[in-house]
Each structure stands twice: as structure tokens, then as C-alpha cells.
Structure 1
Amino acid sequence: MTPAPASTLTPDIAARFAAVALGHVGREYPNKPGHVLAGPGDARTPAALHPAFHGSYDWHSCVHGTWLLARVLRLFPDGPQAPAIRARLDAQLTPATVAGECAYFDAPTARGFERPYGWGWLLKLADELAAFPERRWSEALAPLAGIIARRFAEFLPVAAYPVRVGTHFNTAFALRLAADYAEGARDAGLQTLLRDTALRWYGDDADCPAWGEPGGDDFLSSALIEAECMRRLLPPALFGPWFDRFLPGLAAARPATLFRPATVTDRSDGKIAHLDGLNLSRAWCLRALAAALGPDDPRRPPLRAAAEDHLAAGLPHVTGDYMGEHWLATFALLALEAGAAEDGPGKSS
């Protein structure tokens, strides 16, 4: 699934990504539930537990696979996959299926379910659906989006410290996705909370060495996703000085580890396959950060070159083994769209 030479999202690539997602968003098994059993009655099938999001191996992958489908449909409404995507969204996002998801989140055992990664992706999906002229999908998902937005509002004030790992628990990634929802929903309270939390967690960070990257099962760069989070949440006048302090060696391609794509040795191993996602998510961040810099900024060329290197390493492996295939196209889409974000800081998918 190698892209066009310019590494941009084309209708053909979008159609291929959509075909991949259609192959797993409704696929119930294999399934890895993140489910707490409070009693024998809680031993239920994935579809019974999660009427809307039981496919794609796990809940969060189903959510962001659904986001991919919605995003492709909005970008290419007349594409070859459009009828199948509409049918999938109609079957998946109904008042009844979403009510089942809300009931799951209402259980005491689900307080931390999918926190924060799945929370961020659910709000990202809600933001995408809200942009459609058809209101049925957005209106169906709205009750669950409201629950997740409230979960953020309850959790962030009591979270004294960020989580900086390169996996699902990374807090910067969740803030980054939630920011799109907060802006689209014009939720000023949530926007302020996200920005204030980011400043509290990351505002004093400087001279990031990135010496721990990559970890053996990372799919996020803890350094680059923090920078992308701050780019998204801070006005340029605040982000610029912060970025200068946080990664002061970028013009000289340092820290060097951020400029070298990760090596993936076994794509049938779900954890090792995360490293393909790391290459794609780094490309997304590198491109978005480069686009936020002025055209003559000496950091821009090395960032853009590193992004292309990471894309070249990750894009050929979006398909091939289900351990990666059920989620990698999402990060490939983020990376390819970020390549078009050349208009400075602000919202960028």
C-alpha cells in the first residue's frame, strides 16, 4: 500500500484504507476485551458488551477504524467505498447501539475503561461525524460523546501527573484528540481544561533527550506527541518559545533517535508490530510540527525529511498481518493528511 511519490492522500489510497477498515470494523473475532467481571453475569460476548464497537480486535481500534471510515467518506463522498461506508455507519451508529455503549460506561467497573486512549478517539470520531450534513450518526453518538467529555472533565483535575509512555496510556495523545472535539463542539470549558492541563503537565519541560525512544512496543513517540499536543492546544505566541526550549536541537537533527525510523522484526507479534505505528505516528507529528514553522526555519527541512523517511518505513506494512492491519491505516491516514497542513499552527487532522 505504497502512496503516491508525494506521500499525499489520494482517492485511490483513501479507498484502499477504507476497504481495510470495512474488513475489520464489524469483525467480532478475534477480540481482546478490556473488561472487568464483577460477577458471572458479566461474562458476555463482545457484541453483547459493546453493541456499537465490538469489532477490530478491541474497542478503541473499532472506534478509530470507524473514524477512518467517516473521514474517508467526508473527504471522498463519491468514492467507490462510499455506499459500503454509509451502510456500515447506519448499522453501527444507532440510538439503540449507542445506548448499549452508554450503559456499559455507566457501570462502576467501567470508570477507567479505555482511559485515556479510547476516550480521545471517541471524541475524535464525534467531531468528525458532527461535520456531516446528515445528522443521524452524530446525533446517535452524542450521548456517549457527552459521557466521555464528562469523564475528561472529572479525571483531568485529579490527575496530578502525565503518563509519558509510547502506548495507549499516553496522556498527551488523548489531549491532542480531545482538543479537536472541544473546538468543534465549541465547548469552551473543555478547551480551557485541556489547555490548562497541558500547561500544568508539560509547560516546564525542556531539553527533551528522547533517550528512551523507541521502546519495544511503542506506537507513539512520547517526545513528538507531547510537542504535537502543545502545538494543537497553545496559541503560536506560547507554543513557539515552548517548542524552542523543549527540543532545542532539531535544526541539527537531534535527538538523533527521533530522526531514525524504528526497525520492526516480527509483524505477527502484536507488540512488536506497534513499531510500524510508531513510524506512522511520528510522521504525522513531524509533518504537523514542520508545518507550524516558518518557511525559512532551519528546523523545517530536517523535520520534513524525517517524516518522509518514517512514512517510507511504515506505509508498506499497513496490510499483511491482522495484528497491524486492524489499526495501522488510521495512523497512516493521520500522517498523509498532515502532509497537506502547510498553513501554520491550528487544527490539523
Structure 2
Amino acid sequence: MTYDLTADHAARFARIALGHVTREYPHKADHVMTGDADVYTPRAVHPIFYGSFDWHSCVHGYWLLARVRRLFPDLAEAAAIDALFADAFTPAKVEAERAYLDRPSARGFERPYGWAWLLMLAAELVQAGSPHAATLRPLADAFVARFRDFLPLLTYPVRAGQHANTGFALVLAVRYAEVAGDTALRGLLTERAHGWFGADRDAQAWEPSGEDFLSPILMEATAMAALLPRAAFARWFAAFLPRVAAREPAALFTPATVSDRSDGKIAHLDGLNLSRAWAFHSLAAAIDAPETQAILRDAADRHLAASLDAVAGDYMGEHWLASFALLALGDRPALS
């Protein structure tokens, strides 16, 4: 079976996100307290992104809504999305979110996963021609500045399969750079990717770890596909994963087993299956060999089959997995 994004998928994902982006509790904070004055309640310090269990999941919940609103303008949920956005994206609320970053203890706040997702949301609003794009711009600018300051300091990439993964952040950040026409940011992302990943060869896929939702190998490859010229990427990819024709490393092509979807960390593995599907499709579109494209697309479909139905049912997955399903189904380039 080949999976494509349909209006039914979009409506289901929209209903899921509408059900959690304004759900304040339960809440997991990325917040450093330096005294009693820093006591935290989500809505007080994050007037937009207080829902969805944590800040970054709320951000990509809004991205999901912006994307399905653009791709399927006739959805029954469109009016609810419009009303939500009108209430959320006001100058005062955006400034409150931006001002939080001025806290001395917030230097590492949501780095780099939340940074990248905020830029992905900003890019989607720009692509939609939304008036909210200009309203959100000061917050996007703040995270662009953080990327520019931080990336030169990151001597080594983070290759873990969770939020700190460098490759995933590069993929999302370059999307914003291209949509916003920020050539300086794109140049920095390209330079750092070359330095971190350019000499990598014959990747050994010691994955997944038990709490991964990203594939370190595939995120690195997807970042290089997004940043390198097509011919240069083909050469790099052939050396990086030289045994794709044999579907090796086998662990990379085998969907993860999820034993307990009520456990928030184990449920990460559904996200791994969905993010791998997205990566496989993106890589297939970045190369010209039909046989390799077919192998990668088959791997994508098998990973989607393993976890697509798990996007709802338990809040530990429901507060975020639909965003990754949307990446896998509707945020991938078409094959040429």
C-alpha cells in the first residue's frame, strides 16, 4: 500500500491538534527557577504555547494546523483553526513568548528542537500568505539569532535520537531559511553540516535506542539532502549508506516495535517510525536511481503502516504524534 495525505487524514489530525494545543495540563516544563519569583504556570509565561504537554509539542501542533489549513482550505475545521490563530497570534502574546528568552536562565530553552519547530511554523505561515506571519516574525527572528550564535559553538553534532538531534534541527531550519530568503542562515547551516557530516562514511545503524523518536542516521542524511547540491548529495549518500540495495543496515529498514503506548518514552518509537517514513521519502526524492527510490519508498510505507494508526488513543502519544504523521504523509517532496 502507498500512503498519501488525504482530506480525511488532515481533518483527523486537525481535530487531534485542536484538542490539545489549548489543553494546559498535564504539562512538562523546560523552565529553570532561580528563586521563588520564578514559580511557573504554563499560561502565565507562555500565552501562546502553553498546551500540548510541553512547549515544543504545542508549537508543532500549531504548525500542523497551519499546514492542513493551507493544504485543505475547505476543511470543516478551518473556522476553528482561524479563530484559534486570531486569538493566539497577537503582538502582545508574541512579545511575551519572545521576552521569556531574555531570562538569563533561558539560554538553552528548547535548544534546538523547539527552535527549529518555531521556524517551521513561521515558514508555514509565510507560505500560506497568512497575516499572522508578520506578527510571529519577532519570535522567529529571535530563534534565528540563537541559531547563528549557537551553531559556531557546537564543535560536535548531537547524534542522539531525541530532541537534541542536530540533523533534524538543520532540516527544519533550512526550510525556514529558504522560505524567508535568509541566505546567511542557509549558508551557516550548510557550512556546519559540511564540517560535521561531510566525511562520514559507511554508517553503522546502532539504532533504535529504546526512547528514540528520530533516526540519527536518517536525520543526518536528510539534512545533507536538504543542504547539498543534488549531484554532491548523490556522491555523499552512496558512500554514507553504501548497502541500501541490500536493505542494510537491516536495523534501519525494520520498523520499531512499540510495547506500551501509555509510556511516554516508549511511545517515542511510534514517532521514530513516522519520522523514518518522512526521511525515507525525502531521501528517495533527492536521488535519481529508480531502484534505490523504490527501496526507500517501500521502507517508508512499512514504517508508516507500523505507527500511523497510533496517533490517537493515549495522550502520551496523542499530544505530538499527528505532527510526525503529517510530516510522513504530507511534508515530503514528490519524486521527479
TM-score, scaled relative to structure 1: 0.94
- Judge conservation of contact 1:8–1:340 (CA < 8 Å) in 2: no
Is 1:194–2:189 an aligned residue pair?
yes
1:14 aligned residue: 10
Percent identical: 58
Cα distance in 1 for residues equivalent to 2:250 and 2:67: 33
Out of 107, 115, 118, the residue aligned to residue 114 of structure 2 is 118
What amino acid maps onto 1:314 in structure 2? S
Residue 44 of structure 1: CA displacement? 2.5
Corresponding residue SS for 1:130: helix
What amino acid maps onto 2:189 in structure 1? L
Corresponding residue SS for 1:106: coil
Aligned length: 336
Q: Deviations over 1:180-211 (max 9, x none)?
A: 1011111111010000011111111000011x
2:63 aligned residue: 67
Out of 151, 172, 183, the residue aligned to residue 177 of structure 1 is 172
Is 1:227–2:215 an aligned residue pair?
no
After superposition, residues 253-272 of structure 1 pair within 5 angstroms as 253-272=247-266
Is 1:153–2:153 an aligned residue pair?
no
Cα distance in 2 for residues equivalent to 1:8 and 1:148: 32
Structure 2: segments with no counterpart, 5+ residues: none
Cα distance in 1 for residues equivalent to 2:99 and 2:129: 28
Out of 212, 215, 228, the residue aligned to residue 218 of structure 1 is 212
Residue 338 of structure 1: CA displacement? 4.7
Residue 305 of structure 1: CA displacement? 1.1
- Judge conservation of contact 2:2–2:301 (CA < 8 Å) in 1: no
- Judge conservation of contact 1:214–1:221 (CA < 8 Å) in 2: yes
Check 1:339–1:38 CA distance in 2 against 1; reply closer, same or farther (3 A cut).
closer
Is 1:307–2:305 an aligned residue pair?
no
What amino acid maps onto 1:251 in structure 2? A
Is 1:316–2:312 an aligned residue pair?
no
What amino acid maps onto 2:305 in structure 1? A
What amino acid maps onto 2:79 in structure 1? P
Cα distance in 2 for residues equivalent to 1:341 and 1:115: 30
- Judge conservation of contact 1:34–1:113 (CA < 8 Å) in 2: yes
Cα distance in 1 for residues equivalent to 2:184 and 2:332: 31
Cα distance in 1 for residues equivalent to 2:240 and 2:196: 13
Check 1:339–1:98 CA distance in 2 against 1; reply closer, same or farther (3 A cut).
closer
Out of 316, 321, 328, the residue aligned to residue 328 of structure 1 is 321
Structure 1: segments with no counterpart, 5+ residues: 344-349
What amino acid maps onto 1:51 in structure 2? P
- Judge conservation of contact 2:116–2:170 (CA < 8 Å) in 1: yes
Out of 235, 243, 248, the residue aligned to residue 237 of structure 2 is 243
After superposition, residues 38-57 of structure 1 pair within 5 angstroms as 38-57=34-53
1:277 aligned residue: 271
Cα distance in 2 for residues equivalent to 1:238 and 1:133: 33
Residue 139 of structure 1: CA displacement? 1.3
Corresponding residue SS for 1:29: coil
- Judge conservation of contact 2:52–2:58 (CA < 8 Å) in 1: yes
Residue 290 of structure 1: CA displacement? 1.1
After superposition, residues 83-122 of structure 1 pair within 5 angstroms as 83-122=79-118
Q: Deviations over 1:152-185 (max 9, x none)?
A: 0000011100000000000110011000101111
Residue 292 of structure 1: CA displacement? 1.9
Cα distance in 2 for residues equivalent to 1:44 and 1:194: 34
What amino acid maps onto 2:152 in structure 1? P
Corresponding residue SS for 1:232: helix
Q: Deviations over 1:87-135 (max 9, x none)?
A: 1111111111111111101111101100000000000000001122332
- Judge conservation of contact 1:259–1:306 (CA < 8 Å) in 2: yes
- Judge conservation of contact 1:8–1:339 (CA < 8 Å) in 2: no
TM-score, scaled relative to structure 2: 0.98
Corresponding residue SS for 1:180: helix
Corresponding residue SS for 2:291: coil
Residue 339 of structure 1: CA displacement? 5.8
Corresponding residue SS for 1:271: coil
- Judge conservation of contact 1:127–1:184 (CA < 8 Å) in 2: yes
- Judge conservation of contact 1:64–1:121 (CA < 8 Å) in 2: yes
